[in-house]
Chains A and B, each alone.
Chain A
Amino acid sequence: FLGAGGGNDIQWCFSQVKGAVDDDVAEADIISTVEFNHSGELLATGDKGGRVVIFQQEQENKTQSHSRGEYNVYSTFQSHEPEFDYLKSLEIEEKINKIRWLPQKNAAQFLLSTNDKTIKLWKISERDKRPEGYNLKEEDGRYRDPTTVTTLRVPVFRPMDLMVEASPRRIFANAHTYHINSISINSDYETYLSADDLRINLWHLEITDRSFNIVDIKPANMEELTEVITAAEFHPNSCNTFVYSSSKGTIRLCDMRASALCDRHSKLFEEPEDPSNRSFFSEIISSISDVKFSHSGRYMMTRDYLSVKIWDLNMENRPVETYQVHEYLRSKLCSLYENDCIFDKFECCWNGSDRQVIFHGTVTLFLPPLCSIVMTGSYNNFFRMFDRNTKRDITLEASRENNKPRTVLKPRKVCASGKRKKDEISVDSLDFNKKILHTAWHPKENIIAVATTNNLYIFQDKMN
């Protein structure tokens, strides 16, 4: 495993945990998305109750050089409310499906948050001074009788306690008949896409009353429906390129320069299936729940029920690497189907995008960012990491029992069959209600955010 000691292996330590301790979890508190902003200074979570909580990393304390800044609450607001569609008699959940940050352009921060039907652009801004000394208004806001004013003064800004305000700046509504599963901001920083089960739309961040439909896989006859869109993402560098994954385990890459409606893919990534292995479950477990480009855009990673696959964009006929997340579940598929766990949608993420910097005499070389570790969640509050270079993997647990800061987390092991060793846990003892669906990796440092059902854990590597 990646473990304590040796070489460049990361040693993960508990840093913080956010959320209630009690076991009785209210539906609204279920965390539904986790996302760092581009600098890593801010960490946003969305929940089933439609609320967004943003944490801010403390500036590094020079006297505490052994740990990086802690994350504290910066802002929290109600992003989406429950709605009722009277025309279709259906309830629109306020659950936040995804949050995506815009790169910072000025003092304020912007993020997109979406539920099943509506995307909102939120502006988060700081106010640390206020004007005082108006001529016609008292400090409490009451108007002064102008006839009592005998001298004039110039109002000045005085410092006040920091106030962080969130305001909705754009609401992108009424463009999705089906349920939105993804949003992705384009590298042009002007447009973004939103994807539902059957369609993908392209928006301009400034324009809310129009969006362009760029993918439509709805068949003329719904009886012929064979697959749905499960995730979509823009290429990190090519503003004309995006990918979308399907419930049948395929990924399609589309080029918006080719045509206005990208129903015909430019590339189709699909691993051939061994027909002799096909079963009732094959299609269900091949459904891709997440797709993420590497930072360079050369590779993409997909997550299906049992594995993580790395694809080279230049090779469509099979992934270049496959990592088994919890292969022992293959012999439990019957019960996982009965309790619906087989439909759980796990996400995956790459490690941060630190560029390699090499100093050679007077020349500094900046090499492309390394995407060498991938992380994804599992059951029993376990999460897994795979090192692409060493081919080693590790299983860790997000649990309050491990919460001693700076103590390296102990690797976990699941015993698939046979005699269980002392520290192992047997498959039948796994708690399938404790799922880690959402994880995020700080863009620059070895800090990770791992969401259990209603708690957010932050882990850091052990600094020397």
Chain B
Amino acid sequence: DMQEKETVTPERAEEAKLKAKYPNLGQKPGGSDFLMKRLQKGQKYFDSGDYNMAKAKMKNKQLPSAGPDKNLVTGDHIPTPQDLPQRKSSLVISKLAG
């Protein structure tokens, strides 16, 4: 219905696009899940959930995962600090000072 479309704000139109792509998108984007993710920035490694999953051998089960999580060191082994890629400090002088 052309008339309805004209009264839809650009924001609502974008929202409709997003919901069409991700039908399971939560109703409260500003709510806890979203904010919790923000608070946990940097928490990529082992936690007790991973440990339990490894114990129960969840490898065969299809788990929902977003793209970036594929690189996480989780699930089938418990990483120790030695396993983690060592973050070396920058010994190189900044290129701004070059």
Contact = CB atoms under 8 A, between A and B. Distances in A.
Interface string A167-179: 0000000000011
A81 B36 contact: no
B29 A49 contact: no
Contacts of B15: 279-281, 333-334
A90 to B, nearest CB: 5
Interface residues of B, number: 40
Interface stretch (A204-212, A218-226, A349-357): A218-226
Contact of A333 (B14, B30, B90): B14
Give chain B's interface secondary structure class. Answer: loop
Nearest to A116: B42
Given A225-B35, A277-B9, A334-B18, A93 B42 contact: yes
Contacts of A165: none
Given A20-B95, A282-B11, A334-B18, A90 B43 contact: yes
A127 B89 CA distance: 27
Contact of A228 (B10, B38, B43): B38
A18 B81 contact: no
Contacts of B64: none
A200 to B, nearest CB: 15
A88 interface: yes
B19 A280 contact: yes
A280 B18 contact: yes
Interface string A71-103: 001001010011010101111111000000000
Given A222-B32, A277-B9, A280-B18, A81 B89 contact: yes
B90 A248 contact: no
A283 B30 CA distance: 6
A248 B30 contact: yes
B13 interface: yes
A454 interface: yes
Given A228-B39, A280-B29, A283-B30, A76 B93 contact: yes
B59 interface: no
Given A84-B84, A88-B43, A197-B39, A333 B32 contact: no
A296 to B, nearest CB: 33
B47 A89 contact: yes
Interface string B17-34: 111010001000111100
A331 B90 contact: no
B95 A454 contact: yes
A28 interface: yes
A18 B19 contact: no
Interface residues of A, number: 57
A278 to B, nearest CB: 9
B12 interface: yes
Contacts of A223: 32
Contact of A78 (B19, B38, B81, B89): B89
Nearest to A455: B96
Contacts of A90: 42-45
B11 A279 contact: yes
A331 B14 contact: yes
A438 to B, nearest CB: 13
Nearest to A81: B89
Nearest to A29: B95
A247 B8 CA distance: 26
A53 interface: yes
Nearest to A451: B96
Interface string B52-85: 0000000000000000000000000000010010
A116 B38 CA distance: 13
Contacts of B81: 84, 86
B97 interface: yes
A50 interface: yes
Contacts of B32: 222-226
Interface in A196-255: 197-198, 222-228, 247-248
Given A247-B30, A279-B9, A330-B11, A76 B36 contact: no
Nearest to B8: A279
Contacts of A94: 89-90
A91 B38 contact: no
Contacts of A89: 43, 45-47
B36 A222 contact: yes
Given A179-B42, A281-B14, A282-B11, 20 more contacts: A47-B94, A49-B90, A51-B93, A73-B96, A82-B89, A84-B87, A90-B42, A90-B44, A91-B45, A93-B42, A179-B39, A225-B39, A228-B38, A247-B30, A279-B9, A279-B15, A280-B29, A330-B11, A331-B14, A333-B18
Interface of B: 9-15, 17-19, 21, 25, 29-32, 35-36, 38-39, 41-47, 81, 84, 87-90, 92-98
Interface of A: 18-20, 28-29, 31, 45, 47, 49-51, 53, 73, 76, 78, 81-82, 84, 86, 88-94, 116, 178-179, 197-198, 222-228, 247-248, 277, 279-284, 330-334, 337-338, 454-456
For the complex of A and B, the 5 pairs showing the least CB-CB separation, nearest first, are A283-B30, A82-B87, A49-B90, A331-B10, A333-B14
